[in-house]
Amino acid sequence: MSISTDGARVIVTAGGSGIGRAIVDRFVAAGARVHTCDVQQDLLDETVASNDAVSGSLTDVGVPEQVEQLVADAVEQMGGVDVLVNNAGIGGPRAALEDVSYEDWDRTIRVNLNGMFYCIKNVARHMKAQQSGCIVNISTASAKVALPMRSPYVASKVGVLGLTHTVAREYGPYGIRCNAILPGLIDNERGRGIVANQARERGISVEEREAEFLEFISLKCWIDPTEVGDLAVFLASDAGRHITAQEIGMDGNVEWEI
């Protein structure tokens, strides 16, 4: 067995920064060709410029027509699609459910869940034609424990798990696998910013808020974005060829969130 994706043709959504950028970089390091997308042109340009094996499209995955163009661009650039990593997502509002606007709810579901549907719908025929494919959906550890004040986000990410299982069953006979990764507390600018913002809101130190997060993580750890990238590469590699319909935590085991 080999932990390599040499020659694989990979789509990674929202590859301009954060976890998405790490996933792009790890697939390239494993020998893959990657077509990515982002809603920010500058971030997309930076990622594409990082390696000749990377191409990209400016895309909002919450818009079906833009996803159709993304997949068309990827097929034109790479000659097909072997792997889809559905990483794009937004945090949505942080508010009591009754205070969440209809617009914020709809946008969170549209990007985080509908966007994955749009992407899978448009790569499915390519993967079916070649009788193979791997789909990796990025959910969240919060889908296991729920999280007050984040109902649109959690609902969308629990929906991702249901979509993952259904796709695995429906497309398994065509040699297509589908799994979900559930990241935990991510050690990057965004993750550290969340802790700092919540500390400020609660009038406590950043160190105190960090300790509260880590108290309910079994391994008391932050997760480096490259760890999520490496897991995605493993699932897409020959070593993961019989893994499908799984919800895999890359989170140190988040027991609870407050």
Residues annotated as part of the active site? 153
d(CA 137, CA 179): 6
Residues of 36-53 as b/e, b for ≥16 C-beta within 10 angstroms? bbbbeeebbeebbeeeeb
Q: Are strands 83-86 and 9-12 parallel, antiparallel or unpaired?
A: parallel
